[in-house]
Amino acid sequence: MLDLPGKIKSLIGEEKYLIDDVGMSDSSVFLFHDKVLKIQTISEESQNEYHVMEWLQDKLPVPKILGFERDEKKSYLLMTKAHGEASCSDKYLQNPEQLTVMLAEGLQMLWKVDISNCPFICDLEKKLQMAKYTVENNLVDMDDVEPGTFGENGFKNPDHLLEWLNNNKPEEELVLSHGDFCLPNIFLANGKVSGYIDLGKTGISDKWQDIALCYRSLLHNFDGKYTGKQYQGFNVDMLFEKLEIEPNWDKIRYYILLDELF
């Protein structure tokens, strides 16, 4: 059995688990029958995830917190398992119309949350500070970037990209932003969002942050980048038609570039 703090251990008992290997961060995720345990190195993001999840309990479909413990190095978040399936599952990728409707609603639900008393700030200033840290500490994963970001017709290196981002900050339209609105982080059931998970970067931010990553994630889940399997029938217009807004490509590009540094 895992070496866990007493309280978490007693909540789990002897239950069997599966290890989830979707995530790309340093966290470990253990899937139980109806619970999930996420163990992370303590960081601003792991703390934020717990506090935001608590704040959102009665506001949005997020997992219920069953337990939270910390030791010197790690945090242990025990939560309920989201119902349904992640929006990158085969079933949804085979139905682009239905998928984009649900994701557009998922974005709009976030924007409807009243942020006047929201204590979590993840705006551009904050993100650029975080990006400065990752760049200065050589933490940018150069194997996980969009083709063309760096190299001959792109930026020389992460420093160069960060400088450009600092010099080209867009106006922000502040809303509650998920912060990593990628398909594996949005669970769907019964035709709607059943769980927003992975809330380390959730807080007040520009609405185009989530639109940009949602767009990028749709594109790559359909073009087979992650699984090798391509799906047909998605085009970009579908998302913006459902959102009833015109795409702002400068902002979309900006936030995709910013995400290269995380």
Residues in the site for ligand ATP, rule: CB under 6 A? Answer: 20, 22-25, 27, 29, 36, 38, 63, 79, 81-82, 86, 180, 184-185, 195, 197-198
| Whole-angstrom distance, CA of residue 15 vs CA of residue 32 | 7
Burial class (CB in 10 A: 0-12, 13-18, 19+), 62: buried
| Whole-angstrom distance, CA of residue 217 vs CA of residue 213 | 6
Which entry of ligand ATP, Mg ion, none binds 29, CB below 5 to 8 A by partner kind? Answer: ligand ATP
CA-wise closest residue to 61 among 101, 14, 109, 28? 109
The residue from 144, 180, 198, 259 that is catalytic is 180
- 186 vs 243, beta carbon nearer Mg ion: 186
Ranked by CB distance to ligand ATP, the top (closest) residue is: 23
| Whole-angstrom distance, CA of residue 199 vs CA of residue 86 | 15
CA-wise closest residue to 76 among 133, 18, 35? 35
- The CB-of-29 to ligand ATP minimum distance in angstroms stands at 4
Strand 65-70 with 74-80, pairing: antiparallel
- 20 vs 69, beta carbon nearer ligand ATP: 20
**180 has catalytic annotation:** yes
- 158 vs 200, beta carbon nearer ligand ATP: 200
CA-wise closest residue to 23 among 179, 256, 185? 185
Residue count (the chain): 262
- 75 vs 155, beta carbon nearer ligand ATP: 75
Which residues contact Mg ion by CB under 5 A? 185, 198
- The CB-of-49 to ligand ATP minimum distance in angstroms stands at 8
Q: What angle do CA 149, 201, 65 make, to 5 degrees?
A: 145
- The CB-of-179 to ligand ATP minimum distance in angstroms stands at 10
Which entry of Mg ion, ligand ATP, none binds 25, CB below 5 to 8 A by partner kind? Answer: ligand ATP
Answer yes or no: are the C-beta atoms of 255 and 248 closer than 8 Å: no
| Whole-angstrom distance, CA of residue 42 vs CA of residue 199 | 14
- The CB-of-21 to Mg ion minimum distance in angstroms stands at 11
Which entry of Mg ion, ligand ATP, none binds 24, CB below 5 to 8 A by partner kind? Answer: ligand ATP
- The CB-of-17 to Mg ion minimum distance in angstroms stands at 18
| Whole-angstrom distance, CA of residue 70 vs CA of residue 117 | 27
- 50 vs 208, beta carbon nearer ligand ATP: 50
Cα–chain center distance at 207: 14
